Amino acid sequence: MSSDIEKLSVQLLEHVPFGVLVWYLDDPADDGSLRLLYANRASGALLPADLGSRVGRRISEAFPSVPAERVRLYADICRQRTPRDVGQVLYGESPAEQSAFSVCAIPVLDRGVALVVENLSALKHAEAETRRLNRFLDSILEQLPAMVFVKDAETLRFQRFNRAGEELLGLKREELIGKSDHDFFPKDQAAFFVAKDREVLQRRTLEDIPEEPIQTPAGTRWLHTRKIPVLDESGEPRHLLGVSIDITVRKQAEEILRASYKELEQRVSAGSVELERQVGERHRAERALARQIDERLRAERALAQTEEQLRQSQKLEAIGRLAGGVAHDFNNILSVVLGYSDLIANQLHPSDPLRGDVREILRAAERAADLTRQLLAFSRQQVLRPQVLDLGDVVHNMERMLPRLLGEDIELTIRTAPGLSRVKADPSQIEQVVMNLVVNARDAMPTGGQLTVETAPVELDEVYVREHVGARAGPHVMLAVSDTGVGMTHDTLIRIFEPFFTTKEKGKGTGLGLSTVFGIVKQSGGSIWAYSEPGHGATFKVYLPVAGEAEPPPAPAEPPPTLRGSEAILLVEDDAQLRELTASILRRYGYRVTCCGNGAEALVTARGRNDPIDLLLTDVVMPEMSGRVLAAQLGERMPELRVLFMSGYTDDAVVRHGVLESGMEFLQKPFTPELLARRIREVLRAPRKGPLPVR
């Protein structure tokens, strides 16, 4: 019988789900004499070791990594015969293989101890996974745009609140947790909430409350709330989960909509009585409604047109900035090409065969300079010299020249209104506008037609300004050029002012004519609009704002008797190649030239000179210090110093919106040696105009 019980015990130990290891203390006085007597099947699966081969070995041989204090603990249990819960221990052949185990020690035999071992790794993994899932759910709850709260089913006190709930109630969750509805809401409202909560918990079903008002620090808010009972394993409610969405804005919109419907019903009712009483009134109401619809459609079309104009205006503005920057850099290069080509040409004998080649280089560079001037005109960065003038006089002065541009198959009509108000513009640039528009109209009538140029006074009102982006209200003078040519499609019409855009055949146009017109008009403070349809010709209308009285024309400058001189010139230019060329040209004309690459260097050079400087020739835009600031600082020390500014474009300190400031002398790049020498002599011979103010 005893043998059967032992077999049964072994079978039970072999099939229990936890490990059992039996140790025997051979020598009561020696802790290290613990010897492994038995290890069940489960212990072999739990511990990363071959336990079958370790039965019979001492503990230091079977498990060398077990600490000495734990060996002493097991030996004490063998001696004292007292069971112990060892608790959690870590075991593994190496740190990477260590796992957590729960160990319970039970004394057996006369000097033995049975260690019951349970692996805690799976439990700890489950606990970690539970914590991760809780954090995941917490993050979702915190980001939900709805108030989420949890109450205890018994006390109905708040146990959980998310961020949206804090924002809605205006309270921190620390102030809410552990409190009930009676702590925050009016008595009647709190009683309603509690009664509804009890009802939900009693029924154990979801309750949907489409609308319920609550009082908050921001006033009354309307909520759409769902309350859900949270049951335990036995089906008893333990918590109450609530989810509330703020529908105040929707509620207000519905109230407004209901009021509108009510008002509409009242109006319809009143209108129906009136319609029954007078049929004619009904017809007038219908016509009024039709007018409203028509006005709305016109307003929508006008809005779409304005948006399209704005997009096109922004596009042209961006292209203009790009074109201006390219022209500025290119002007420096062209100044060098023109200057050196002219110097070489003047040094060659008239019969030298290379002289013709150099002249071709000069002509190509001059054509490139014309191109950059057109780009500057489009980008509104050319220098204008505006005058107060009569636009009709400008057109009449061109009356004899325009027919030569057109040919015999085009009939030209010029109509100018008498007594036109004056405008302020550069007359040569306005002539360029008229010529470009006339040539464009001529090319649109390959088989002949009628061309009309007219001027008239107009008043641009607010309605026109709203429909035409960039236009300004007030009195204007209109210049219109109309033709009976082939016309343009809408897609072409919205791109006609873009540089290099052309509908002409290759080689018959640069695509800069209308873009030049656009830039001149905009720089003159005006606006231009084109109207056309395929097969119905085109009309271009230029509007220039009315100016004041005419200014007296400047006295013509007397040409200098000679372009040579011996004065001292301080040349400041950050482009090294152009600086060397300019200095070489000036020295050929007899001037004493000192060169500097920037403003700071020029100030140091000027302070170190004993002899006076007669003229400062400086670029406008330079790193660290502009030409204007340099001229102002030198002018304080040298009151008699004359200044000539030079630049490849006019978006800088001496030129405001393309118009030279009073007292400024300016040389536009690129320039030829002769033009440079002529401007130097003009500035040196002109009376001193006073120091420049520092900006």
What is the CATH number for 442?
3.30.565.10
Tell whether 367 is covered by a domain. yes
Band (511; pLDDT cuts 50, 70, 90): low
Residues 343, 585: contact at Cβ < 8 Å?
Answer: yes
Token output for 406: 């057109």
Q: Which range, of 41-45, 171-175, 501-505, 507-511, averages the lowest pLDDT?
A: 507-511
CATH of the domain at 235: 3.30.450.20
pLDDT bin (cut points 50, 70, 90) of residue 653 is: very low
Task: Please give the span between the terminal C-alpha atoms of the chain, in angstroms, as a whole number.
Answer: 117
Return d(Cα 654, Cα 650) in angstroms, integer: 8
Minimal CA–CA distance to 263: which of 255, 273, 251? 255
How many domains are there within the chain? 6
Instruction: Please check whether residues 210 and 257 belong to one and the same domain.
Output: no
Examine residue 330 and state whether it is found in any structural domain, yes or no.
yes
Per the structure, the complete domain to which residue 338 belongs is given by 320-378
CATH of residue 681's domain is 3.40.50.2300
Domain identity same for 533 and 463 = yes
Q: What is the mean pLDDT of the chain?
A: 79
State pLDDT tens for residues 394-426.
Answer: 888 888 878 887 877 888 899 888 888 898 888
Q: Which of 224, 246, 268 is the last residue of a domain?
A: 246
Of 309, 343, 378, the position where a domain reaches its end is 378
Statement to judge: residues 454 and 520 lie in one domain: yes
pLDDT at 196 over 60: yes
222 and 266, same structural domain?
no
Give the angle 6-11-17 at the CA atoms, nearest 5°. Answer: 130
> Does 86 map to a domain?
yes
pLDDT for 296-310, tens place per residue?
A: 777 666 555 555 554
Q: Poorest-confidence range of 128-137, 159-168, 441-450, 663-672? A: 128-137
d(CA 564, CA 556): 21
- Examine the pLDDT at 551 and tell me if it is beyond 90: no
- Do residue 237 and residue 261 come from a single domain? no
Please confirm whether the linkage preceding 499 is cis (ω < 30° from 0): no
Do residues 538 and 406 share a domain?
yes
pLDDT at 603: 93
228 occurs within a structural domain: yes
Answer yes or no: is 434 within a domain.
yes
Tell me, yes or no, whether 163 lies in a domain: yes
303 is a domain residue: no
Q: Based on the domain organization, do 530 and 391 belong to the same domain?
A: yes
Contact status, residue 332 vs residue 578, Cβ threshold 8 Å: yes
| CA–CA separation, 70 and 551 (whole Å) | 111
% of the chain with per-residue pLDDT over 70: 77
**pLDDT tens-place string over residues 98-140:** 677 888 999 988 999 998 888 776 666 666 666 776 677 667 7
Residue type, 3: S
- The reported pLDDT for the residue numbered 562 is 80
Q: Which helix (H) or strand (E) holds 527?
A: strand 527-532
Residue 288 confidence (pLDDT):
84
587 in the same domain as 670: yes
Q: Which of 545, 577, 608 delimits the end of a domain?
A: 545
657 confidence band (pLDDT: 50, 70, 90): very low
Q: Identify whether residues 590 and 635 lie together within a single domain.
A: yes
Q: Give the single-character DSSP code of 96.
A: G
Contacts (Cβ under 8 Å, ≥6 apart) of 579 = 571, 573, 595, 597
**Residue 679 pLDDT class (50, 70, 90 cuts):** very high
Helices (H), ranges, 482-614? 490-493, 513-523, 576-588, 599-607
For residue range 458-503, what is the model confidence (pLDDT) as tens digits? 888 887 777 777 778 889 998 999 999 888 888 887 787 777 677 6
Clarify whether residues 541 and 605 are in a common domain.
Answer: no
Residue 530 and residue 45: Cα distance in Å, rounded? 91
**Same-domain status, 263 and 405:** no
Task: Give the type of residue at 671.
Answer: F
pLDDT score, position 406: 81
Most confident of 84-88, 144-148, 649-653, 687-691: 84-88
For residue 137, is it within any domain? no
- Say whether both 222 and 175 belong to one domain: yes
The SS3 of residue 37 is strand
